[in-house]
């Protein structure tokens, strides 16, 4: 613990110094992020204090910029170990990533660790999200060339990060995107038709005894998009994944499986109204830079993944709307006789104008969202490892979510958000196990009263009803903003409907935060409900626990 405190104090002090000093004509910038937890015994929920009850995740990044050149490092310390729910590969304290970059008018070159995305990310995306423990930055070389203001050509080669190391396999890729209309009419800025093509190759050595084992895998994608001043926009992308082995019990499959994905978006937006529709089909689309990581059951932290396949559902913000959260199901799973997913999402918003019957004095905002996801209707042979499927054939239902949100300002000081959600959730598919589907209804009332510009209080009242799983829940939260710096909250989720009366637990929490300029400190105490925590449609599992949490964020 002393190491953590010394590390943060030194870094915090040095950040204030470096933020004020120009070095050799360049400038420093960076940030510090630290989250520490002290776990405690909690017999009610069956949580035993681990042998190392104090755990801490710490990140310090430092960037230097001088004209067209920049460089940076990220130091990470997981001391004495990482927080619960994170991969055990985060087990050290040292420089985890570094880079050097040159960015001119047309040429952008990076050596070291970098992040990149081709198209929607279905064929390639590297990114960092510390809350869910993902950092698959690529360590290698990236080059981007922009011959004009409507064309970009990118190429890269390297190995994705896994913990403090990199994958055994290497990836290389090229991406080309251009605005076709500008290509023929360079003065056309009002409308855009973009076309793109991507290639991602994978290479990993193989030392086993299988002849002609695929050490090289080629993946391709093509996309086309339109947007204009009419308010209509659309895009379509198709990905073909090359053949590769699927791992089970540490052994590669005898058959090699390819995959594919289709994504289509169509939307319209104008003042006060918008609608967006999305369709996606994925078959065996898990892509990993190390073959052994394709064994999904043994890779719960999405380590070594190359592409980005989030759940295309509404991302909810409340305690009870996040109990049954959907994860995309893109992978071949012989245990459930599933090979992917197919479905879509519709998102609509409408603003009732001020002065109308439903708009009232201040106007009213309505949001409607619906998503529906099924498995592919695959036919398997007796072995369970060979299958056939039609492209648009819907199979087992996985999930649906229909929700409405009404945002209304009633007076100068009082406003509310009312949310209703109806869900169908196949727990066996999303979380594993033999449990059948769950149908849940959730109602949320979110009320805000402003005493003045900086002083306010917010109340939440929530209820979840279901006849299965742990049955009914109730939740409440009150948050008080003293001013722009101080914030306090108190909340509780209560599983009052559980058939097991001894399992009717309160998941309470109390905490607050202080923010000044670029520094924020937060502390809380409470119980963490076990389950999936998701950010942007990508999830990690967190076990139930109880304890104190202290977090610090500082940028400079």
CA atoms within 13 Å, Cβ hemisphere of 514: 3
Residue 352's contacts (CB-CB under 8 Å, 6 or more residues apart) are: 358, 359, 360, 363, 364, 365, 366
Residue 87's contacts (CB-CB under 8 Å, 6 or more residues apart) are: 133, 163, 301, 303
Residue 430 to residue 289: CA distance in whole angstroms: 24
Predicted local distance difference test score (pLDDT) of residue 36: 97
pLDDT in tens, 41-72: 999 999 999 999 999 999 999 999 999 999 99
* pLDDT < 70 stretches in the chain: 1-24, 433
pLDDT in tens, 332-347: 887 778 999 999 999 9
Residue 421 to residue 417: CA distance in whole angstroms: 13
Contact 462, 476 (CB under 8 A): yes
Indicate the SS3 state at residue 411: coil
Structural tokens at position 174: 């090229």
Percent of the chain whose predicted confidence (pLDDT) is above 90: 79
Cis amide leading into 396 (omega within 30): no
Map tokens 């169509």 to a residue.
266
Residue of 332, 336, 329 whose CA lies nearest to 374 = 329
Query: In angstroms, what CA-CA distances link 299 with 126, 416, 544?
Result: 17, 42, 20
Residue 176 to residue 152: CA distance in whole angstroms: 6
The predicted model scores a pTM of 0.93
Indicate the SS3 state at residue 331: coil
Contact 193, 224 (CB under 8 A): yes
Query: In angstroms, what CA-CA distances link 179 with 120, 186, 236, 282?
Result: 16, 10, 15, 27
User: In angstroms, how far is the first alpha carbon of the chain from the final one?
Assistant: 25
183 class by beta-carbon count within 10 Å (0-12 exposed, 13-18 middle, 19+ buried): middle
């Amino acid at each position: 613990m002393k190491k953590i405190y010394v590390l943060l104090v030194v870094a915090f002090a040095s950040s204030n110094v470096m933020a004020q000093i120009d070095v050799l004509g360049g400038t420093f910038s960076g940030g510090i992020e630290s989250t520490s937890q002290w776990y405690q015994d909690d017999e009610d929920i069956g949580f035993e204090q681990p042998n190392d009850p104090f755990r801490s995740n710490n990140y310090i990044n430092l960037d230097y910029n001088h004209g067209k050149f920049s460089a940076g490092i990220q130091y990470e310390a997981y001391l004495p170990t990482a927080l619960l729910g994170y991969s055990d590969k985060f087990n050290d304290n040292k420089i985890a990533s570094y880079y050097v970059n040159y960015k001119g008018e047309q040429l952008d070159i990076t050596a070291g660790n970098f992040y990149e995305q081709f198209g929607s990310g279905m064929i390639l995306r590297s990114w960092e999200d510390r809350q869910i423990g993902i950092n698959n930055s690529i360590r290698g070389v990236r080059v981007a060339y922009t011959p004009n203001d409507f064309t970009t050509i990118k190429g890269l080669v390297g190995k994705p990060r896994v913990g403090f190391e990199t994958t055994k396999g290497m990836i290389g890729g090229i991406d080309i995107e251009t605005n076709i209309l500008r290509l023929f009419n360079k003065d056309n800025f009002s409308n855009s038709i973009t076309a793109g093509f991507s290639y991602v190759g994978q290479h990993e050595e193989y030392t086993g005894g299988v002849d002609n084992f695929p050490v090289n895998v080629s993946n391709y994608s093509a996309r086309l998009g339109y947007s204009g001043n009419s308010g209509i926009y659309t895009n379509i992308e198709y990905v073909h994944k090359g053949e590769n082995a699927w791992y089970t019990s540490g052994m590669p499959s005898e058959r090699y499986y390819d995959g594919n994905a289709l994504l289509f978006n169509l939307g319209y937006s104008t003042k006060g109204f918008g609608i967006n529709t999305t369709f996606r089909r994925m078959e065996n689309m898990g892509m990993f830079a190390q073959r052994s990581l394709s064994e999904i059951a043994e890779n719960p932290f999405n380590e070594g993944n190359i592409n980005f396949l989030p759940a295309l559902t509404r991302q909810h913000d409340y305690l009870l709307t996040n109990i049954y959260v959907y994860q995309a199901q893109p992978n071949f799973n012989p245990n459930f006789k599933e090979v992917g997913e197919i479905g879509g999402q519709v998102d609509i918003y409408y603003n009732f104008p001020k002065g109308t019957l439903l708009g009232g004095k201040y106007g009213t905002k309505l949001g409607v969202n619906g998503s529906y996801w099924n498995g592919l209707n695959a036919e398997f042979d007796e072995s369970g490892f060979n299958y056939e499927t039609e492209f648009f054939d819907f199979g087992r239902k996985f999930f649906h979510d229909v929700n409405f949100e009404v945002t209304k300002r009633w007076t100068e000081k009082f406003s509310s958000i009312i949310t209703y959600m109806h869900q169908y959730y196949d727990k066996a598919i999303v979380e594993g196990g033999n449990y059948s589907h769950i149908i849940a209804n959730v109602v949320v009332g979110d009320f805000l009263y402003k005493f003045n510009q900086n002083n306010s209080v917010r109340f939440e009242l929530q209820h979840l009803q279901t006849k299965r799983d742990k049955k009914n829940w109730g939740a409440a939260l009150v948050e008080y903003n003293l001013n722009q710096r101080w914030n306090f909250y108190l909340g509780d989720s209560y599983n009052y409907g559980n058939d097991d009366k001894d399992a009717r637990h309160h998941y309470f929490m109390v905490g607050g935060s202080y923010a000044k300029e670029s520094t924020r400190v937060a502390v809380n105490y409470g119980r963490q409900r076990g389950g999936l925590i998701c950010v942007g449609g990508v999830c990690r599992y967190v076990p139930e626990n109880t304890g104190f949490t202290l977090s610090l964020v500082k940028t400079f």
